Structure 1
Amino acid sequence: MTGPAPVQRASFPRLRFVGAFRGLYLLAEADDELYVIDQHAAHERILYEELSRRYREEPPVELEHPELLNLSLGEEMAYQERSEQLEAVGLVLEPFGPGRYRIRSIPAFLAGHPALIPEVVKGTLAAHSFTEAWRTVLARLACLPAIKAGHPMAEAPAQALLDTLARCELPWVCPHGRPTVLVMSELELARRFGRRGVRAVERVNGKR
């Protein structure tokens, strides 16, 4: 038999939280389906879209004390090719001697992660394309604060997470491409228990 399948549909339903399993998965229902939600993957998706919105909408932050960064020859060449794209998202470097640059400004969402700034710059320069690099950066930043596996969630925050996930543009997958949700229909559950569909049973004898 096949198990619950990852799905991607045009719309994401309003889910009602009904429980959790092993501090890893949230259990929810909508219509005649059971949803199993990976809480970490779901929270990653939420944070990723929030970071994406912030880097598009918020002005860059000027660093009070510009950070020095050493770049290899290949990284310098990549920077020359991508400097306009980097400046467009608020990441501005300034030459400061052979192979050295000062980071003058950063996207606003990076202000809370100073230790990651050198990693972000070098990762952006190393990737094959700017788009790929920036997606990797945002996915990495979304992963760090996301609710970890094994962290139990109370009903109210669990329901809030489900409600926020439903408002995401791509709620079905995390930024790394893993599914956030598995779905099993009521009919599939009935078949696995060797029963007919619940509604059919109710029509015959009023029992389950």
Structure 2
Amino acid sequence: MTGPDFSFEHDLLTQGFPRIAGVDEVGRGPLCGPVTAAAVVLDPARIPAGLNDSKKLTEKKRQALLDELRDCAEISVAHASPAEIDEHNILRASHLAMERAVAGLRHPPDHCLIDGNMIPRGLTIPATTVVKGDARSVSIAAASIAAKIARDAIMRDLAQHFPGYGWETNQGYPSKSHISALQALGVTPHHRKSFKPVYNILCKP
């Protein structure tokens, strides 16, 4: 199976959109930590080889690609907090992070390629959704790499302050060990209180 390519971007370039941002998020499923999004504007003449859905790459390969991207692309990373996830719901919080990532670019893009099937409602820039975009568009793949590396770093840091939950390896996802630690150690300020396993513990009599 072939990896992502530049066809979506090429079509937009021919339509007169010179600055195209790929946008993706990571961290919808974890029980704790932020949801993180990235927006990446690639230089069509300097696209790193090997860009792909971050989940299909090793940690070492992701980091090497991000190092390349920092030299040849514009990258913006943003987050929505656990409190915002609880306030709005995970989908809206994911879209907030995406909107913030796009707004954080040094220069506004002319068009965004959004991973998924919904355009964030607060996005004022023309956009196209691409289902499974991180496996189809190199710009979205680049964003998936930047977002994952940023969020993993946050979770490793949080793990130092809240040992025992295994966040340095499970990234906050509901692994068996994380659930066991949650039951034994309790809920932290970084847990998403609206997510069922956390909510159930908080509501125990």
Instruction: Provide TM-score, normalisation by structure 2.
Output: 0.26
Q: Which has the higher strand share?
A: 1
- Relative contact order: is structure 1 or structure 2 higher (C-alpha 8 Å, sep ≥ 6)? 1
Q: Normalized against structure 1, the TM-score is what?
A: 0.26
